[in-house]
Amino acid sequence: MMSPSLLIGGGRFLDPSQGMDKVGDLLITDGKIAWVGDQGTASPQPDSCTLDATGLIVCPGFIDLHCHLREPGFEDKETISTGTRAAARGGFTTVCCMPNTNPPLDNQASIDYVKKTAQVAGTVRVLPIGCVTKGRQGKELTEMSELAEMGAIGFSDDGDSVASSRIMCLAMDYGRALDLPIIDHCEDKELANGGLMNEGWVSTRLGLKGIPAAAEEIIVARDLALAQLTSARLHIAHVSTRGSVELIRRAKEKGIAVTAEATPHHLTLSEERVMGWQAGKNDQLTYDTNAKVNPPLRSEEDIAALIEGLRDGVIDIIATDHAPHTLVDKMCEFGFAAFGISGFETALGCLMGLVHSGELDLVTLVSKLTSEPARIIGSKYGELGTLKPGCQADVTLFDPDKEWVVSSQGFLSKGKNTPFDGYEFKGKVMATIVAGETVYQDDSLVIEKK
């Protein structure tokens, strides 16, 4: 069924893919962008709905290159249905799901299952990432070219690094031929040695085993050397340390085909959050399992380096690493709690903090969520992350100044595990449109039907 035309009027249209930043109108027909132009100049459509976007930013739908939808296998944590609804609420129109499901996405049938389930139960576009190795065991490559044929947009054993340098090298050789990125969760498990949080003064104070920054940097350095050797595309997942940023910067200067992502939580929270500390409220010591994540929240210095990396392009994109867990997974001793943060629904609010504080400009932020991840995914699924006429009408509208308070209990995601519960954010997603269909709309927003 064709959805009716939609006219979005009076918003600030921000589309980094075409360098567009202007106030105007946008018309969607047949699920595609039909026209973008000056305000009030759209030719009226007889059956179109109109959305007054005055004061709102209208941009290409956000693309999340890194999330966990948990299905199949961990439906108590999240399903494709609940996860994509949460994504829509967060302004994401396309999400790329990691293959650490059960069974893992290491074969065509599993990838097919995810795609088919997403078509039936999904609210937003779901693009699967295939495993690098069978069973995520790090021993044998998956049938990567067949996974690619089935729709994989890249390969990763996320949650684990591919420990063997030789297997990683072979995976890159294969990936190069397919022109798809190998996405690595960079962690030397031996050095991390069962660590629970960043190794530093907080881990010392709390008596928790630390994960040194070097555990990440060693694998980043190795992967960069292999990317140089193989000329393959490498994507570094969730960069968390200053050292990694520096390594990637140098690699890019040398022309190595590397891209990198940072998460909203690594960009805004430090290791002190594990003690329950927030700015201004540093009295009561706790061990907050909602701040337990891998890679761990690092130091203020690392945060500054990540933000600088965003600004100068060393960090190409922002990805949520949405990792939902059940209450039971988190309501326990810190050492026993699962790693991960439910991130879809807080991403924009959290990141807008960087814009309001002047650390990041709005256009750069939007590009890290739209045109840049689209560039990494490529054109396999049509042109994404743009408002060019003729392209799929994936559009996100957000109010940059709307203030709201995070309430995890109100999350659409099954995972209520967020360190941002109770935080006051300024900047909120108002509507999310996937292929012309409004899949999420804030209560205060009105779409007028003619």
Partner 1 sequence: MKVTESGPSTAIPETFPPPSTDKWQHRHVLDLDDFTREEIELVFEIADAMTEVLTRDVKRVPTLRGKTIVTMFYEPSTRTRASFELAAKNLSADTVSLDASKSSVVKGESLIDSLRTIQALGADVIVMRHSESGAPYLATQYVNSSIINGGDGWHAHPSQALLDLYTVRHHLGELAGLKMVIVGDIMHSRVARSNIWGMTTMGAEVMLCAPPTLFPRGLAGFISRCRLPNVRVESRIESALEGADVVMMLRLQRERQQTGLLPSLREYIQRYQLTLERLSLAKPYALVLHPGPMNEGVEIGPEVAHGPQSVIEEQVSNGVAIRMALLYLIAGGKSR
Question: Which residues are catalytic, by number?
Answer: 321
Among 200, 296, 324, 373, binds partner 1 (CB under 8 A): 200
Among 277, 287, 398, 440, binds partner 1 (CB under 8 A): 287
Taking the complex as a whole, the smallest distance from the CB of residue 303 to partner 1 amounts, in Å, to 16
CB neighbour list of residue 319: distance below 8 Å, 6 or more residues apart: 64, 65, 66, 67, 237, 238, 261, 262, 263, 373
User: 23 or 214: whose CB is closer to partner 1?
Assistant: 214
Fill in the per-residue mask, 333 to 352: x = in contact with partner 1 (CB under 8 A), - = not in contact.
xxxx----------------
Nearest CA to 47 out of 104, 16, 6, 85 is that of: 6
Beta-sheet pairing, 182-184 with 234-236: parallel
Taking the complex as a whole, the smallest distance from the CB of residue 319 to partner 1 amounts, in Å, to 28
Among 201, 301, 312, 422, binds partner 1 (CB under 8 A): 201
Grouping H, G, I as helix, E, B as strand and the rest as coil, residue 99 is coil
Residue 327 near partner 1 by CB under 8 A: no
Residue 208 near partner 1 by CB under 8 A: yes
Residue 304 near partner 1 by CB under 8 A: no
**Exposure of 424 by Cβ count < 10 A (0-12 exposed, 13-18 middle, 19+ buried)?**
exposed
Helix pair angle (362-369, 300-312), 10° resolution: 90
User: 215 or 267: whose CB is closer to partner 1?
Assistant: 215
Taking the complex as a whole, the smallest distance from the CB of residue 292 to partner 1 amounts, in Å, to 11
What's at 274, amino acid-wise?
Answer: V
User: 203 or 294: whose CB is closer to partner 1?
Assistant: 203
Residue 404 near partner 1 by CB under 8 A: no
From 22-30, 103-111, 208-216, 346-354, give the range in contact with partner 1 by CB under 8 A: 208-216
Among 207, 255, 280, 358, binds partner 1 (CB under 8 A): 207
Instruction: Please give the size of the binding site for partner 1, defined by CB under 8 A.
Output: 23
Taking the complex as a whole, the smallest distance from the CB of residue 207 to partner 1 amounts, in Å, to 3
From 34-42, 166-174, 205-213, 401-409, give the range in contact with partner 1 by CB under 8 A: 205-213
Residue with tokens 């684990």: 160
Q: Which residues of 227-257 are buried (b: 16+ CB within 10 A; e: fewer)?
A: bbebebbbbbbbbbbbbbbebbbebbeeebb
Among 165, 286, 424, 449, binds partner 1 (CB under 8 A): 286
**Exposure of 225 by Cβ count < 10 A (0-12 exposed, 13-18 middle, 19+ buried)?**
middle
Nearest CA to 197 out of 93, 275, 94, 90 is that of: 275
Residue 285 near partner 1 by CB under 8 A: yes
User: 177 or 327: whose CB is closer to partner 1?
Assistant: 327
From 21-29, 144-152, 163-171, 209-217, give the range in contact with partner 1 by CB under 8 A: 209-217
Residue 195 near partner 1 by CB under 8 A: no
Residue 419 near partner 1 by CB under 8 A: no
* Alpha carbon distance 308, 314 (integer Å): 8
Taking the complex as a whole, the smallest distance from the CB of residue 342 to partner 1 amounts, in Å, to 20
Residue 328 near partner 1 by CB under 8 A: yes
Q: Which residues of 137-152 are buried (b: 16+ CB within 10 A; e: fewer)?
A: ebeebbbbeebbebbb
DSSP per residue, 389-407 = TTSB--EEEEEEEEEEE--
Helix pair angle (165-178, 213-230), 10° resolution: 50
Interacting residue ranges for partner 1, rule: CB under 8 A: 199-210, 212, 285-287, 328, 331-336
